Amino acid sequence: MLALTCQKIYQAVTNVPTTTPLHITIATRESRLAMWQAEHVQTLLHTCGHTVTLLGMTTRGDQILDRSLSKVGGKGLFVKELEVAMDNGMADLAVHSLKDVPMNLPPGFELACVMEREDPHDAWVSAVADDLADLAPGAVVGTSSLRRAALLQERLAAMGRSDVRIEPLRGNLDTRLGKLDSGAYDAIVLASAGLKRLGLPQRIRRIFTFEEMLPAAGQGALGIEIKSDRADLRAALAPLMHMPTWLRVASERAVSRAMGGSCSVPLAAHARWQGGSLLQLDAAWGDEELAMPVLRASLSADVKSIDQADALGLAVAQGLQAAGAKPRT
């Protein structure tokens, strides 16, 4: 009955007859969060009548933990091995945290589906302090993100707190929590979505507002990547697509693409619906050395298509550049 319902939804939305159920293999990283995401998609595709298996893989991004991503190759380290598996026929699709997906995919690959967004906020996780202001002198805050580091530094400067150290923090979510619990850090900043997906909302001490810490492009959303010649998979994934989320993240990723966004650029971009088709897009940029003040830009526009979302993102990127931000080439 559930599979029939899913097929009816797809046919109603696309006006295209449903296809024969597929045998699908999902390539996934083996961290607990990545497996949750893959299993979530597996369950939904099962509901639609497809047979789905998982192929667990370890990526270079999972292996290199002693250096920041900005120094070892950026976001592509988390997806390359999964793309190789799709290219050689070992897997049919890959499920990604969209904030970890490079802005430009390799030729022959595409983002075929963006699913409904989880909470995009950043979370403050600590056993000793309710917020930055409550940290003891000389405290250490861990984050893997230059964006978070730049925005934390901005808040600390406003408080006159030059004693707090912001240190790199690599590893999957469980590894980062373990380092916090071991006493290596006084607090860490993580994506709320990951904590909630793994049933760990109790670890969140507080949620940052968007004014305090603007999220990364795509944060909280899942994207599904396929090879561009797989029209059958594109059709199979259509019932999982959430267009309001896709339009939001398309505008965010357009900002990042125009600014040369990667793990080596402190860049935030977040879009919110303001009612009807009015989409507000906010962005923030910091220099790579974290030496300049954070620059911001914001615009709203009527958005009903991916092209319009891209145009809004480009306009906001131009606003950042007009304020002094420098695109990374």
Give catalytic residues, as residue numbers.
100
Encoded tokens for 34: 């990545």
- What is the 8-class DSSP label of residue 217? T
Measured on CA atoms in the order 161, 164, 168, 170, is the torsion positive or negative? Answer: negative
CA atoms in the 13 A half-sphere facing the CB of 54: 17
Cβ proximity of 224 and 240 under 8 Å? yes
70 CA to centre of own chain: 16
CB-count exposure of residue 245 (10 Å: 0-12, 13-18, 19+)? buried
Q: Report which residue type is found at 48.
A: C
CA atoms in the 13 A half-sphere facing the CB of 214: 24
| Residue indicated by tokens 């978070």 | 148
